[in-house]
Amino acid sequence: MTTRAWSAALVLVLAVLAAGCLRGSSPTDAISEDELIWAISVNDRPTHELVAQAWNEAHPDTPVRIEWLPPDANEQRRQLFLELNAGSSLFDVVSMDVIWTGEFANNGWIDDLSELRDQVEGNSLQASVDSCTWDGALWCLPYSSNAGFLYYRTDLVEEPPTTWPELVEVGLQAAEEAGISPYVAQGAQYEGMVVNFLEYFWSAGGQIISDDESQATFAEGDAARTALEFMRDAQRNGFYAPGFNTLIEDPARLQFQRGDAVFMRNWPYAYPLLSGEDEENPSAVAGKFDIAPLPTFDGEGTISALGGFNLAINAFSRKKDLAREFILFASQEQDTQMILGRRSLPPTLQAVYDALADDPAMALLSEVLPEAQARPPLPTWNSISQAMQDNVFPAYNGTKSVDAAIEAIQAEVEDAVSIGGQ
Amino acid sequence: MATATDARPAAAPGGPRPNRNGISERGLARLFISPSITAMAIVALFPILYAVVLSFYEYVGLQQGGFTALGNYVDALTDGRFWDSVIATFVFTVFSVTFEFLIGMGFALIMHQAFVGRGVARATILIPWVIPTVIAAQMWRYMFEVTPGFINWALPFVPDDFNWLGSSGWAMFTIIFADVWKTAPFVALLLLAGLQTIPEEVYEAGRVDGASAWQRFTRITLPLLRPAILVAMLFRTTDALRIYDLPAVMTRGAFGTETLSVLVQDFVIATPNPGFASTLSVLTFILVLGVGVLLVSVLGKELVLGDEA
């Protein structure tokens, strides 16, 4: 053989060796056989860590390890989508936003848990159980719940307003006197903005689809117009803080915590932080703020979008029995759910609300949660949400007409309803 | 490209000749390159062809419906959102490549000079290019945001509450700015490599003939730099047409910054429709290929296809 042929042979051998090395070092091999992997959002990280710790103390042989998902709901879904769509068994327990149940179930990504229904019903909040129900089956167990609060500065505002127009009026005036911004919330183009929009929409009497899920009713009445025009005006007249259209949850919380806003719409997780409970993260508004239910357009009652995480078992998991044990532990054990309650991450176990009735955030939650509205659990919810992101955002920023936006969303809801049952 | 260069050594004196074991040298060459050709076909050609096949099918969510032939293409080409993203992609490409080229050329000329601290200057200029794009995008988003608002604070003539990322026009500006910041050093690197191949004697001859500095730049540097310029432009343009990370992180595609790749990705994950997503990918592929071919034919066919072409 010539030298050239020899060197070619050598290259071939090296290539085969290299390929062997690559195969040997795939990430799944690093995971211990007995370890359970739980994927959940990095938001409220210390709370989830305490839950994992409680499990690990009770089950030292089969510990749980948390894989953190990004803080933004769209990004969380993206990551789970990529894993589950590829049939990956990397995550055993997946945390689903309340709106993903139908889609994940339809795609065959999660296991049917209907035989656990008896253990859950009556113990967990009904709205949360409903968000786990799709097509007559139970697909997950409720872990945390969520509802929007109106945070307001007690040193600048005497009574929390009960209507949206009043909120604007009071906010603009107080902000001018104090030299800060009137209102921060979730205004960037993402699912969080959809939630904010729906709270205006629902509180103006709107309904996205009919109760029997057969008709698109988004454009009926003038709720969509009322909500969109309210948002557009708030953006124009400076009620929304500068940079409102790039804000998500935590930047909004930081701005309020620095004392730079009069009002904020945010989830309960902000309450302990604003109270200054985290020493490394001092609060300029500790003792100077309070919480109230979100306003409506007519001043009657309150409406919040129901949020939260439900725990499901990855259909491709190799540790399903253990995963089932873990989600029962996280959702049904009172001690576990108390961990959430003490840290202002809304629990889903009814008994915890009774036990923690003295906590102001918990007390407000028991008032707000029964009125909370769930987004429709259609498998096609994400297309509706996407249409709202693509249309509500330009409409409130004044780059698209309100009429065109309503028309485009209605068309998408009609599509989603017509293929929803598949 | 690959076949044109591979053909050259075989055309060497002697030509194809049988060697001792009976296989011709050309045959041996084919044998040796066949594994890499196979690997290329599996990793590059197959996905492209598969995307073309998928683009002819209708989907509902992730479930495949029927064969629709060109139905997805008709939908895409009559969709305003598609054309908006084509415009966004081209606006981004034209502005970012132009500025990257001008600034990169400036950097290259500076780095080519002999001066004290040249090594440090070269290293400094290259720092932005080493930072991963997603990180750079996060960083610039943070800088441009109203709170804490570093950019607004640093620029004296800009109001403190100026909303760069959340206003039409300026949103695209921030993305182009971040891309130029990040990629101009890369262009500079390519051009510097070109500058270093120009023999010093040519400049000396120019000086003897009395050419001014500007004349030496336009008559000597630019023409001799043409191969490097072509490579830099080709790389940057095709790359810029596929831009995803900067708009995805900095603006989420709001305010006319939804580029083709952001749009494609939307139909892969946000509202999954593999058929339509493949259609958009194929259209993007055709677009990038078309622009690439155009650039090559304008700037110099002989540089890519070899001297004989």
pLDDT in tens, chain B (309 residues): 444 444 444 444 544 555 566 778 888 899 999 999 999 989 989 999 999 999 999 888 777 888 888 989 998 999 888 999 999 999 999 999 999 999 999 989 988 887 788 888 888 888 899 999 999 999 999 999 888 788 888 888 888 888 899 888 899 999 999 999 999 999 998 999 999 999 989 999 999 998 888 999 989 999 899 888 988 998 899 999 999 999 999 998 889 899 999 999 989 888 888 999 999 999 999 999 999 888 888 876 666 555 543
Q: Could B163 and A246 be called an inter-chain contact, meaning their C-beta atoms sit closer than 8 Å?
A: yes
Alpha helix locations (H) across B200-273? 200-208, 213-216, 222-241, 245-250, 260-265
Class of domain A36-146+307-371: alpha beta
The dotted CATH code for A149-305+380-420 is 3.40.190.10
- Shortest Cα distance, chain A CAs vs residue B163, angstroms: 5
- Shortest Cα distance, chain A CAs vs residue B35, angstroms: 9
Residue of A190, A198, A192, A150 lying closest to A170 (CA atoms): A150
pLDDT > 50? residue A14: no
- Residue A379 pLDDT: 85
Strands A149-153, A261-266: pairing kind: antiparallel
Report yes or no on B103 lying in a domain.
Answer: yes
Report the distance separating Cα A134 and Cα A377, nearest Å.
7
* Average pLDDT over every residue of A218-245: 95
Which of A15, A245, A419 has its CB closest to that of B60? Answer: A419
Report yes or no on B297 lying in a domain.
Answer: no
Question: Domain residues for B94?
Answer: 84-268
* CATH code at position B110: 1.10.3720.10
Judged by a CB distance cut-off of 8 A, whether residue B201 touches chain A is: no
Please list, in sequence order, all residues whose beta carbon lies within 8 angstroms of the beta carbon of residue A161, skipping any fewer than 6 positions away: A167, A169, A170, A295
- Residue B304 pLDDT: 58
- Work out the pLDDT band at A31, boundaries 50, 70, 90: low
Provide the whole-model pTM: 0.82
- Whether the predicted interface score ipTM is above 0.85: no
pLDDT > 70? residue A7: no
**Boundaries of every domain in chain A:** 36-146+307-371, 149-305+380-420
* Average pLDDT over every residue of A206-216: 88
Judged by a CB distance cut-off of 8 A, whether residue A32 touches chain B is: no
pLDDT (tens digit per residue) in A412-422: 999 888 875 44
- Residue A16 pLDDT: 45
Judged by a CB distance cut-off of 8 A, whether residue A107 touches chain B is: yes
The residues with which A110 forms a beta bridge, in sequence order, are A314
Neighbouring C-alpha atoms within 13 Å toward the C-beta of B35: 9
Closest chain A residue to B254, measured at CA: A189
Report yes or no on B68 lying in a domain.
Answer: no
- Give the DSSP letter of residue A348: S
Judged by a CB distance cut-off of 8 A, whether residue B161 touches chain A is: yes
Report yes or no on B70 lying in a domain.
Answer: no
Report yes or no on B140 lying in a domain.
Answer: yes
Q: Could B146 and A243 be called an inter-chain contact, meaning their C-beta atoms sit closer than 8 Å?
A: yes
- Work out the pLDDT band at A167, boundaries 50, 70, 90: very high
In DSSP notation, A124-150 reads: B-HHHHHHTEETTEE--EEEEEE--EE
- Residue B6 pLDDT: 46
Calculate the average pLDDT of chain A: 89
- Work out the pLDDT band at A75, boundaries 50, 70, 90: confident
* Average pLDDT over every residue of A87-112: 94
Judged by a CB distance cut-off of 8 A, whether residue B255 touches chain A is: yes
- Partners of A4 on chain B (C-beta within 8 Å) are 28
- Work out the pLDDT band at A71, boundaries 50, 70, 90: confident
| Pairs of residues, one from chain A and one from chain B, whose beta carbons lie less than 8 Å apart | 71
Chosen from B146, B164, B268 to mutate, greatest number of chain A CBs within 10 A: B146
Which of B61, B166, B168 has its CB closest to that of A243? Answer: B166
Which of A103, A106, A255 has its CB closest to that of B147? Answer: A255
Report the distance separating Cα A339 and Cα B290, nearest Å.
59
- Partners of B166 on chain A (C-beta within 8 Å) are 243-246, 397
- Partners of A193 on chain B (C-beta within 8 Å) are none
Which of B62, B163, B168 has its CB closest to that of A399? Answer: B168
Which secondary-structure segment (H or E) carries A292?
strand A289-292
Number of domains in chain B: 1
- Partners of B161 on chain A (C-beta within 8 Å) are 242-243
Which secondary-structure segment (H or E) carries A201?
helix A191-203
pLDDT > 70? residue A40: yes
